[in-house]
Amino acid sequence: MRDYESAWKVYPVVGFGDGVRNGSDMAGVPYVARYDHDGDYSWNCNNYVQEGVARIMPRR
């Protein structure tokens, strides 16, 4: 994912949304291990992969 005013960084996808976050329906949208809250990454809408902010990399 692209960081704010910086380069691209790789984050693993850790789950898929299941409801509304900050007023947006995130059901089925993948989210990454970026900003956590006691191990929960689904709470922050900045973790969700939305159009134009991500590139897919192959697994190693």
Q: Is residue 56 a contact partner of residue 11, using CB atoms and an 8 Å limit?
A: no
42 lies in which domain range? Answer: 1-54
In a domain, 10, yes or no: yes
In a domain, 60, yes or no: no
In a domain, 26, yes or no: yes
In a domain, 38, yes or no: yes
Q: What is the pTM of this model?
A: 0.79
In a domain, 59, yes or no: no
Q: How far is CA 47 from CA 25, 40, in A?
A: 14, 11
In a domain, 45, yes or no: yes
Backbone angles phi, psi at 47, to 5 degrees: -85, -15
What total of structural domains would you count in the chain? Answer: 1
The string of pLDDT tens digits covering residues 6-58 is: 777 888 999 999 988 888 899 999 999 999 999 999 988 889 988 766 777 77
